[in-house]
Amino acid sequence: MGAQKSIHAGKAKIDVNVDFTHKLCASLMLPTLRSSGSPLSLVIGSLCIKHPNLFGGSEKLDVSWDKGLYDSNVLVVYRRPRPEWLAQQSFALQHSLSPEIGIHGIPVNNFSRSGSGGVNLSRLSVGMDLKEPASSKWCSTTSIKFEHVRPLNDEGRAINRDYDGFPLTCSGNPHDNMVVLKQESRFAKANENSFFHFNLQIEQGIPVLSKWIIFNRFKFVASKGIKLGPAFLLTRLTGGSIVGDMAPYQAFSIGGLGSVRGYGEGAVGSGRSCLVANSELTLPLNKMLEGAIFLDCGTDLRSGHLVPGNPALRQGKPGSGVGLGYGLRFKSQFGHFQVDYAVNAFQQRTLYFGLSNLAS
C-alpha cells in the first residue's frame, strides 16, 4: 500500500517512496508508543537524491531522508573518485531522531512488548570514511566522526534525566559530545551449499576535550548457512562489550525482531556486554514462499547493573531469555518480508512483521 516515483532532473536522479503498509500492520498488531498527532504520522516513506557527477570530476552526492512512524533519518554523503588501489574516501553528515525503546522502553504483557519510556535520542554526526580495497574475502572500513547526542522527551524538549531521575547522558549535561574512531572488518566465504560471514566493529572514543566520552566498544556478528537438502539452516552469533565511560544509550539491548523474538525491543535486558544466538530452519513452500522454525536466546552476561542508572533492573528485565516459534518468508520484486509468531519463556505470544535480516 504505497507509491514509488523516480524523477530524472538533468544528471541527478530523485527517488520518492511513500508507504502506508507499516502503519497498518503496526496499528493492528503492535503497541502504540505514543499518540498519533497528525495525519502525516500515518505515512512512512523515503526521499533520495543522487548526483553522479557533481563538479564534473565524477564526484558523487547522495542525499536521503527516511521517515518512520516515530523516527527519521537524514543522510548526506559526498564521494570523491580515487584510483581503485587506494582507499575510497567519503564524507558524511547525518541527523537521526528515534525513540530509545531498547534501553528505556517499558516491558508490558510478560515482556512480549515494549512501550515508550518517554526518552528519544537526537544524533548529529559528521565525519569521513576510508574504505580499503577489498581482497578476495576480506574488506575493511575506517571512519572518524564527531557525534552530538541529545536526549529528548516525547514533546521534543531536551532532557537529561529519565522519569526516575537518573541521568541520560554520561556528562550529566543535556547532551554528550564525542569523537569516535571506528574500524570495521568483514569476511565472506560462500559456495553452492553453504556460506560464512563475519563482521567485527571496534570503536574508540577520543578525548579531544576533558568532558568528552572516552570508551572502547566492540561488537561481532558471525553467521553460517548450510543447505540441508531442500531446507536451509541459518545460525548467527552476536556479541559485544564496552569499557570506559558510558551513557545508558550506549548499552547493548537484547530482545525483539533481529535479536530474541518473543520479546519486545530490549525487553530481555540491556548491559555493558551481550551475547545473542539465533538458529532458523527454512523450507520452501513454493517459488515465493518459505516456512521457517526458529530458536533465539540471549543474555546480558550479568552486566545490566553496570549500566549507569541500571535501567534494566528498574524495569524488571530478566537479563536472559529464550524465544521459539515459526514464520513465513515472502519473496517479491519489492523485497523480502517475514511474518514470525514467537513464544517467550513466560509463554507470552508475539506476532512480528518486518524485513528478513537474520543473515545480515
pLDDT at 357: 40
Assess whether pLDDT exceeds 60 at residue 328.
yes
Average pLDDT over residues 287-304: 95
Average pLDDT over residues 267-279: 97
Residue type, 329: R
Assess whether pLDDT exceeds 90 at residue 346.
no
pTM for the complete prediction? 0.85
pLDDT at 45: 79
Question: Predicted confidence band at 355 (pLDDT cuts at 50, 70, 90)?
Answer: low
* Residue owning grid cell 566493529: 201
- Minimum mean pLDDT range among 164-168, 234-238, 296-300: 164-168
With 0-12 / 13-18 / 19 or more C-beta atoms within 10 angstroms meaning exposed / middle / buried, residue 149 is buried
Longest dimension (CA), the chain: 61
Question: Predicted confidence band at 30 (pLDDT cuts at 50, 70, 90)?
Answer: very low
pLDDT at 24: 43
Q: Which of 146 and 52 is assigned the larger pLDDT?
A: 146
d(CA 223, CA 360): 8
Rg, the chain, Cα only: 21
Q: What is the mean pLDDT of the chain?
A: 86
Average pLDDT over residues 239-262: 95
pLDDT at 34: 53
Chain segment 108-149, per-residue pLDDT in tens: 888 888 888 899 999 999 999 999 887 778 999 999 999 999
Question: Predicted confidence band at 241 (pLDDT cuts at 50, 70, 90)?
Answer: very high
Question: Predicted confidence band at 31 (pLDDT cuts at 50, 70, 90)?
Answer: very low
- Minimum mean pLDDT range among 47-51, 76-80, 226-230: 47-51
Q: What are the residues whose beta carbons fall under 8 Å from the beta carbon of 317, sequence distance 6 or more?
A: 107, 111, 266, 267, 268, 269, 270, 304
Let me know: does 319 contact 303? Beta carbons within 8 Å. no
Let me know: does 289 contact 246? Beta carbons within 8 Å. no
d(CA 234, CA 222): 11
Average pLDDT over residues 256-266: 92
